[in-house]
Chain A
Amino acid sequence: QITLKESGPTLVKPTQTLTLTCTFSGFSLSTSGVGVGWIRQPPGKALEWLALIYWDDDKRYSPSLKSRLTITKDTSKNQVVLTMTNMDPVDTATYYCAHGTSFDYWGQGTLVTVSS
């Protein structure tokens, strides 16, 4: 059974760096073909793909946010970490992590509010 859960701060100030952790179970990120992605959703708005990391440590980023994002993995801890620098109120959103390239399993999401 695959499960994922996001964790991190619920409130960050403008210009700060956001660090989110996705802790998962039921699969290994050392298995060929496996990936974990991050997707966000501002309140009342659409989903937006942010980043994806593969089993071989290949990393991909949304072109519009690439300069601000870093995705890493800790295979021994079954975790994927996303950092986003220079946070702005427009980055207020629910952040989800999801399994695979079809995003077949999702975490419950974590709402991050950017406000001073």
Chain B
Amino acid sequence: QSALTQPASVSGSPGQSITISCTGTSSDVGSYNLVSWYQQHPGKAPKLMIYEGSKRPSGVSNRFSGSKSGNTASLTISGLQAEDEADYYCCSYAGSSLWVFGGGTKLTVL
């Protein structure tokens, strides 16, 4: 059970769209539509932004969307805003009731 692979950093200007990838294997991301995404601001607890691959919890902006292709899941943020600057983590079910997180991606809004 290895950590999912995310880019260390991504950046974008206000109003632009960015995509963060999360690459796993056929044993986790590729086998289940159970990827979730979390936003974490400095010193704060993570916040669920996307679950079950593409579903948004109540209260999360529709600027956030999730998708998957093969062993790679993606989080897209459209209409980038300054408040979106944070760390983002993916998490996938890995079978047998086990879970695995990604290494995290730092989003910078230029």
Q: A104 to B96: give the CA distance in the assembly, Å.
A: 20
Name the contact of A49 in the complex, choosing from B48, B52, B100 (C-beta under 8 A). Answer: B100
Contacts of A106 in B (CB 8 A): 45-47
Name the contact of B99 in the complex, choosing from A46, A49, A104 (C-beta under 8 A). Answer: A49
Q: Are A103 and B48 in contact (CB-based, < 8 A)?
A: yes
Residue B66, interface by CB 8 Å: no
Contacts of A96 in B (CB 8 A): 45-46
Residue A64, interface by CB 8 Å: yes
Residue A26, interface by CB 8 Å: no
Q: Which interface class (under 10, 10 to 19, 20 to 34, 35 or more) fits B?
A: 20 to 34
Q: A1 to B103: give the CA distance in the assembly, Å.
A: 30
Q: Are B91 and A108 in contact (CB-based, < 8 A)?
A: no
Contacts of B93 in A (CB 8 A): 101
Q: A60 to B93: give the CA distance in the assembly, Å.
A: 12
Q: Are B91 and A103 in contact (CB-based, < 8 A)?
A: yes
Contacts of B100 in A (CB 8 A): 49
Task: Determine how close the nearest CB of chain B comes to the CB of A99; give it in whole angstroms.
Answer: 10
Interface size on A, residues (CB 8 A): 23
Contacts of A105 in B (CB 8 A): 48
Interface positions, chain B 54-110, Cβ under 8 Å from A, are 57, 89, 91, 93, 96-104
- Whether A107 contacts B45 in the complex (CB less than 8 A), given A47-B104, A48-B101, A102-B52, comes out as yes
- Whether A63 contacts B98 in the complex (CB less than 8 A), given A96-B45, A102-B51, A107-B45, comes out as yes
Q: Could you tell me which B residues sit within 8 Å of A by CB distance?
A: 1, 3, 34, 36, 38, 45-48, 51-52, 57, 89, 91, 93, 96-104
Interface pairs (17), CB distance under 8 Å = A37-B99, A39-B101, A46-B101, A47-B101, A49-B99, A49-B101, A52-B99, A54-B97, A58-B97, A63-B98, A96-B45, A102-B48, A103-B38, A103-B46, A104-B57, A106-B45, A106-B47
Q: Could you tell me which A residues sit within 8 Å of B by CB distance?
A: 37, 39, 46-49, 52, 54, 58, 60, 62-64, 96, 101-109
